[in-house]
Amino acid sequence: MRVAQIIINRPAKQLHKPLSYLMPKKFGTVLPGTRVLVPLGNSREEGILIGYTELTESPEFTLRNIVQILDSEPWFTPEMMDTARRLNEYYLCSYGDALRLFTVHKTLKSYEAPKEEWLVVTPDFSVDQFSGRKRKQRELAAYLLEVGGASKALLLAKGYSRMVIKQVSEAHGIVVESRFKATKTVFDELLTEEYKIPLSEAQQKAYESIQYAMDHHVYQPFLLHGVTGSGKTQIYLRATARCISQDKTAIILVPEIILTDQIVRRFVETFGDEVVVFHSKLTVQQRNNNWERLRRKDSHIIIGARSAIFAPAEDIGLIVVDEEHDTSYKQEDMVRYHARNVALWRGEAHGCPVILGSATPSVVSYHKAQNGTYRLLELPNRIFEQPMPSVSIVDMKEEMLHGNYSVFSDAMMHLIQRTLDEHNQMIILLNRRGYSTFVMCRDCGETIMCPHCDVAMVYHQAGEELRCHYCEHHEPIPAVCPKCKSKRIKFFGSGTQKVEEELRAHFQHARIARLDQDVTKHKQAAEDILHDFGNHKYDILLGTQMVSKGHDFKGVTAVGILTADSVLNIPVYSASERTFDLLTQTSGRAGRGDKTGHVVIQTYNPLNYAIIKSKTHDYVGFYHEEIQNREALGYPPFRQMIHMVVRHQDMNTLESVANCIVNDLERHKGNLDITINGPYETSIKKVRDMYRLAIMIRGTDLTDMKKYIYHSWIFTQEGLLIDVDPV
Ligand code: ADP
Ligand code: ZN
Ligand code: ZN
């Protein structure tokens, strides 16, 4: 007997395995990937048909019938279902949750195809009106008369300037019409300005390898390593043009869309309507419309943050992961996937190249490029050969010995002053938000904590209150210590707000903008600040990590990093790597115009290699030190990690469940090279009234362990979080 395997389209731990149903004959052949309606208990649920199996024996219970077929053709292609299967096996998420990543699709109400503007010739048109005009205009008029009309995009591609096109479009007998764009554009004709730039020798070499893979339809991961300004984006544009000329789809991933609008703009300027930009501000209708454009190949390019990797493209010819080291590619809830992995899987399934680009590749990726898993492509120099900025490192312990207890070292003060005197711009990085990080009683040492989350409350000047950064809890500042009733309550640490105040006090004429998550809860606010800073309406941009990425402000000659140690001290194995990235990327904001940049980095750990190597922008030097440490300590890429967090409201129940899990895992691991640590307290003991205990599994090959976890009672525990490859 043939039974249909159905995944219920709803997140629920008990429903993570497929259920069996009968497919009534009246529905004919229904392909896997189609959505169906099935009875479940007393209700009806939407499900996804993932395949059929043959039952040899009659089942113990009566199978129920599928009630209705919801799609006329499958929504999920076999490749999407395969990728979901890999996500399920690799990340230990449920198969249904993985499938849902390929969009929760509501039926599209109406489809709007992209349009483009055409210059169309009417019977009134005559070329005589152009006598005496410039040659280019006459040429264009003659061309239009001959062909009857052409799109602006094509005319641009043919080398007519916007000005010439505009002048001719205003001529007597020419009308400008909005027409549906031809489905397939021949890109050899559509050579835009950007596309016509001849590549440098290093770029040419890199591009040829990529082109070879594209033309032979082979899967090949490339690690494109080049400092900012070395011409990586130019290579992405070239490869994308090639991809479109093959009538295939290109997926371009960027870290965070608001911080990377420059690369998005370059794609849109080069490819126009071929580009679909994917971001969280889209309405459901817009989003579905975009998906439909991709499915119909009315557009061939999707550019977006990590979830764009799940674009429903059926014929992918190129995948680019820009700034591949960026931690925003890792999703931190539900399915804890890394978009780079998904990119590689999809690239493999479609037989196409995957370009991972970065100035500071992740250590794991660079290791793979060293051992041949990826091909390394290098762009060693900046295109215009601007020098890298000069970096000085200030030991804050020394500063204190000299009696300077402020957050600004003398060197920092000088750099700020000099930048202002020279009418240049500066970016200052501070890794915290809020006014002061925490509030402590000077008499008994009590820190005010969130009652639900066991983390220190943060003082926010706006509203004069304490806020928890893990939940919505906030409260007024206490007048006396809740423990000893002392009135001597003090604010510790330096948040962005406090630094902003100090800056304003020191440099009264400077125009200062602040960029952190408090300011940018509204997306527009961030865009406006960045835009105004770009137009030199501010002298100093002060902010958290948000100021460290992507931006290309020509007026910025100086960068100050107030606390290089804040990332170094976070309790994760990759703290050094993240510090090196942060310092290098932030320093890289200085001196992108024609003036040389200067950077001051303040630290309490001036001898740390991540800090020393960032002074000389020495990625490879950093990598060699880091990879040795990783090997010695058994961290990725040498051993894989699975981090599990068990949560419960009751501490005793939590402890016994966590201990049971550890015992079970220990029993199962047998003689395999696997270590299990825990259960241990997480750095935050309680979040939203749920206590937490962590378990860490490490090993050279965890495939078998993963299978065991997925199929055992462990997986169905409510409140269990599983993070494979935590970053
Ligand atoms: P990256 O992505 O590595 O930061 P880009 O591709 O943005 O580098 O290149 C940096 C700058 O150099 C851009 O303004 C780009 O237009 C320009 N550029 C890139 N390649 C070339 C080239 N071959 N010839 C001239 N200019 C180039
Ligand atoms: Zn006290
Ligand atoms: Zn809280």
Q: Which residue minimizes the CA distance to atom 9 of ligand 1?
A: 231
Cβ atoms of 275 and 301 closer than 8 Å: yes
* Paired strand residues for 252: 303, 320
CA of 466 to the centre of ligand 3 (A): 11
> Any known ligand binding at 243?
no
Any idea which ligand is nearest the CA of 468?
3
Q: What is the CATH number of the domain that holds 665?
A: 3.30.70.600
Closest atom of ligand 1 to 383 CA is 12
Any idea which ligand is nearest the CA of 684?
3
CA of 203 to the centre of ligand 1 (A): 10
Strand 640-648 versus strand 721-724 pairing type: antiparallel
Whether residues 541 and 687 share a domain: the answer is no
Q: In whole angstroms, give the CA distance from residue 603 to residue 624.
A: 22
Whether residues 605 and 585 share a domain: the answer is yes
Whether residues 60 and 36 share a domain: the answer is yes
- Does the CB atom of residue 588 touch ligand 1 within 6 A? no
Closest CA to 154 of 115, 179, 195, 191: 191
> Any known ligand binding at 660?
no
- Does the CB atom of residue 200 touch ligand 1 within 6 A? yes
Whether residues 35 and 128 share a domain: the answer is no
Q: Do the domain assignments include residue 427? A: yes
Q: Do the domain assignments include residue 478? A: no
Q: In whole angstroms, give the CA distance from residue 19 to residue 521.
A: 42
Q: Do the domain assignments include residue 284? A: yes
Cβ atoms of 418 and 468 closer than 8 Å: no
- Predicted confidence at residue 111, as pLDDT, reads 64
- Does the CB atom of residue 270 touch ligand 1 within 6 A? no
Closest CA to 98 of 388, 307, 351: 307
CA of 678 to the centre of ligand 1 (A): 49
Q: In whole angstroms, give the CA distance from residue 49 to residue 546.
A: 42
Whether residues 257 and 405 share a domain: the answer is no
- Does the CB atom of residue 386 touch ligand 1 within 6 A? no
Q: In whole angstroms, give the CA distance from residue 454 to residue 686.
A: 5
Whether residues 15 and 141 share a domain: the answer is no
Closest atom of ligand 1 to 322 CA is 2
CA 391 to chain centre: 28
Domain boundary among 582, 609, 633: 633
Q: Do the domain assignments include residue 302? A: yes
- Predicted confidence at residue 574, as pLDDT, reads 87
Reported ipTM: 0.95
Q: In whole angstroms, give the CA distance from residue 431 to residue 516.
A: 9
Q: Do the domain assignments include residue 718? A: yes
- Predicted confidence at residue 156, as pLDDT, reads 80
- Predicted confidence at residue 434, as pLDDT, reads 45
> Any known ligand binding at 444?
yes
pTM of the model: 0.83
Give the DSSP per-residue string, 43-81: EEEEEEEEEEEE-SS--SSPPPBP-EE--SS-SS-HHHH
- Predicted confidence at residue 495, as pLDDT, reads 66
* Paired strand residues for 21: 4
Query: Domain range spanning residue 171?
Result: 115-180
CA of 479 to the centre of ligand 2 (A): 11
Which residues have a beta carbon within 5 Å of ligand 3, which is an ion?
450, 452-453, 468, 470-471, 473
In sequence order, the 6+-apart residues with CB closer than 8 A to the CB of 531 are none
Tell me the pLDDT tens digit for each residue of 519-532.
666 666 777 888 89
Whether residues 201 and 333 share a domain: the answer is yes
Domain boundary among 348, 379, 410: 379
Closest atom of ligand 1 to 198 CA is 23
CA of 440 to the centre of ligand 3 (A): 17
CA of 680 to the centre of ligand 3 (A): 21
Q: What is the mean pLDDT of each run of 10 residues along the chain (727 residues)?
A: 88 80 92 92 90 83 90 88 94 90 63 76 88 90 86 80 91 84 47 68 95 95 92 93 90 80 80 82 79 84 93 93 94 93 98 96 97 95 81 88 84 95 92 59 76 75 74 82 82 70 91 79 75 92 78 86 77 85 86 84 89 92 95 91 94 94 92 88 83 92 90 87 91
Residue 351 buriedness (CB in 10 A; 0-12 / 13-18 / 19+): middle
Whether residues 94 and 150 share a domain: the answer is no
Q: Do the domain assignments include residue 471? A: no
Q: Which residue minimizes the CA distance to atom 6 of ligand 1?
A: 231
Q: What is the CATH number of the domain that holds 360?
A: 3.40.50.300
> Any known ligand binding at 441?
yes
CA of 565 to the centre of ligand 3 (A): 25
> Any known ligand binding at 453?
yes
> Any known ligand binding at 481?
yes
> Any known ligand binding at 352?
no
Cβ atoms of 612 and 419 closer than 8 Å: no
Residue 97 buriedness (CB in 10 A; 0-12 / 13-18 / 19+): buried
- Does the CB atom of residue 229 touch ligand 1 within 6 A? yes
Q: In whole angstroms, give the CA distance from residue 239 to residue 532.
A: 33
CA 556 to chain centre: 25
Whether residues 394 and 367 share a domain: the answer is no
Count of structural domains within the chain: 5
Any idea which ligand is nearest the CA of 471?
3
Whether residues 247 and 331 share a domain: the answer is yes
Give the DSSP per-residue string, 27-44: G----TT-EEEEEETTEE
- Predicted confidence at residue 435, as pLDDT, reads 46
